[in-house]
């Protein structure tokens, strides 16, 4: 079975631009979460979506937004990029009956210049 | 708030050595605990989990026991291999209302030498 997939794998943007990252969950998973992992640190929670509704939001500015589609795939949008947004963005999915056990994709590495 | 503390790395071992990576947590409730592994240039892979006190999670020779009395979830392996070289993250689940999120430690890099 396919795992969580993310696209693109790498991205280079300049300050002030916006970016859209995409995620497809494991088949049958209805919950998708997004995490930011800065180099040398553990992942930090950004959002959780379940059945197309935002269920949780981490301590990130309003420049970060996300949505989930009817097929349970998800997008993470970041506006007005800052240098500090450079990181690995990880998507994770989980079963509706076990949302705390999360399975991660390979991530999108974003570099902001 | 809830938090996870891991021993700082890197941990450098020879092949077939015994591995322990310490992890302690602070939580108001009784969260589930997880170990994830991250190989260079990749995402996180779930290694094992434990959902309640005294549970032992195990996978691929790795083990960790949920110790409520010491708020710990140390990762152990009896005989490491070069292929175990990676960064290991301890995490706890934090549930608030209908939201689930993982809180991670800062990671411990393991380097196994032949």
Average pLDDT over residues A71-76: 97
CB pairs under 8 A between A and B: 69
CB distance B71 to B12 below 8 Å: no
How confident is the model at residue A2, as a pLDDT?
83
User: Percentage of chain B with pLDDT > 90?
Assistant: 84
User: Taking CB atoms and an 8 Å limit, are A56 and B99 in contact across chains?
Assistant: yes
Min Cα–Cα distance to chain A from B90, Å: 9
Length of chain A (residues): 113
User: Could you give the CA distance from residue B99 to residue B110 in angstroms, rounded to a whole number?
Assistant: 32
User: Could you give the CA distance from residue A87 to residue B19 in angstroms, rounded to a whole number?
Assistant: 29
A102 conformational bin, left if phi > 0, alpha if psi -120 to 50, beta if neither? beta
More confident residue, A92 or B98: A92
B35-57 pLDDT, tens digit each: 999 998 889 999 999 999 999 99
Q: Is B108 on the interface with A (CB under 8 A)?
A: no
Encoding tokens for residue A3? 């795992």
How confident is the model at residue A1, as a pLDDT?
63
A29-69 pLDDT, tens digit each: 999 999 999 998 999 999 999 999 999 999 999 999 999 99
Which residue of chain A is at minimal alpha-carbon distance from B90?
A42
Average pLDDT over residues B79-92: 97
B60-85 pLDDT, tens digit each: 999 999 999 999 999 999 999 999 99
Min Cα–Cα distance to chain A from B55, Å: 16
Chain A residues lying within 8 Å of B34, measured CB to CB:
101
Q: Is B27 on the interface with A (CB under 8 A)?
A: no
Model confidence at B109: pLDDT above 70: yes
A78-95 pLDDT, tens digit each: 999 999 999 999 999 999
Which residue of chain A is at minimal alpha-carbon distance from B102?
A45
**Residue B96: CA count within 13 A, CB half-sphere:** 14
The three-point CA angle B86-B87-B88 to 5° equals 115
């Amino acid at each position: 079975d396919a795992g969580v997939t993310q696209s693109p794998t790498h991205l280079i943007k300049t300050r002030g631009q916006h970016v859209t990252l995409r995620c497809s969950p494991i088949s049958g998973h209805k919950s998708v979460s997004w995490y930011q992992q800065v180099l040398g640190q553990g992942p930090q929670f950004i959002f959780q979506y379940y059945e197309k509704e935002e269920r949780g939001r981490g301590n990130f500015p309003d420049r970060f937004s996300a949505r989930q589609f009817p097929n349970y795939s998800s997008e993470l949008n970041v506006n007005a990029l800052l240098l500090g947004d450079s990181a690995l963005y990880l998507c994770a999915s989980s079963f509706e009956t076990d949302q705390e056990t999360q399975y991660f994709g390979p991530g999108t590495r974003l570099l902001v210049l | 708030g809830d938090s996870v503390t891991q021993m700082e790395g890197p941990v450098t071992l020879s092949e077939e050595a015994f591995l322990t990576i310490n992890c302690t947590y602070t939580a108001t409730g009784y969260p589930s605990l997880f170990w994830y592994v991250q190989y260079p240039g990749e995402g996180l892979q779930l290694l094992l989990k434990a959902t309640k006190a005294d549970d032992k999670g195990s996978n691929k020779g790795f083990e960790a026991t949920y110790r409520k009395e010491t708020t710990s979830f140390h990762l152990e392996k009896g005989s490491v291999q070069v292929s175990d070289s990676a960064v290991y993250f301890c995490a706890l689940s934090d549930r608030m209302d209908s939201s689930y999120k993982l809180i991670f430690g800062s990671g411990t890099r393991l380097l196994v030498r032949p």
